[in-house]
Each structure stands twice: as structure tokens, then as C-alpha cells.
């Protein structure tokens, strides 16, 4: 069984909610198995969950084609919390 990872991507160029939607769509196109995809222009980042690893260069290319710049990518193990955070 593959380890679930939380991926956090720093992105330059997001200015509004529509930019967030473009980034989420770009991530979903590049990595169809990504789950819980979200983006925040205020924080300048996008996050998603994935089982296994990803090709950072492929993701960077897809984000660049949308008109934004991926600055960094951080992966960390994701542990699902149960009811009431336990």
C-alpha cells in the first residue's frame, strides 16, 4: 500500500479566486489521481493529497502552461485524523 502524501506547492502569480480555480484545474489535469485539491491566492500556495509520489517537473510544466510559476514543492506524510481530531 502506498503512503498518502500531502503536497504543498508554492505558486507565483495568483491574484484572485479565478486564479485559484485555474491552478486547481491545472493540478487535476497534470495529476488525475490528486485528491482534495485546493489553492489560496492569499497564501500563494496549492495543496493536494496523493498516494505515492509525483513528477515535480511534469507538474511545474503544466502550471507554467497555465501562466503561473511553481516556486517550490513540499511533500509530507498525511495522516488522516479521526472523529474529533484523534
The pLDDT score that the predictor gives to residue 83 is 67
Number of helices (H), then strands (E), in the chain: 2, 4
Please compute the mean of the pLDDT values over residues 57-64 and round it to a whole number: 94
Average pLDDT value for residue range 29-56 = 95
pLDDT given for residue 65 in this prediction: 94
Distance, C-alpha 14 to centroid of its chain: 14
Residue 85's pLDDT is 55
The rounded distance, in Å, linking the Cα atoms of 78 and 69 is 25
The pLDDT value given to residue 61: 95
Alpha carbon distance 25, 21 (integer Å): 6
Higher pLDDT, 85 or 84: 84
1-10: average pLDDT: 90
34 half-sphere exposure, CB direction, 13 A CA radius: 23
Amino acid at each position: 500500500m502506498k503512503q498518502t502524501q500531502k503536497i504543498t506547492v508554492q505558486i507565483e502569480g495568483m491574484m484572485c479566486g479565478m486564479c485559484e480555480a485555474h491552478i486547481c484545474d491545472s493540478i487535476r489535469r497534470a495529476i488525475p489521481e490528486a485528491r482534495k485539491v485546493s489553492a489560496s491566492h492569499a497564501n500563494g500556495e496549492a495543496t493536494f493529497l496523493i498516494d505515492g509520489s509525483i513528477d515535480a517537473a511534469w507538474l511545474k510544466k503544466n502550471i507554467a502552461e497555465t501562466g503561473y510559476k511553481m516556486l517550490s514543492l513540499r511533500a509530507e506524510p498525511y495522516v488522516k485524523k479521526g472523529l474529533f481530531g484523534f
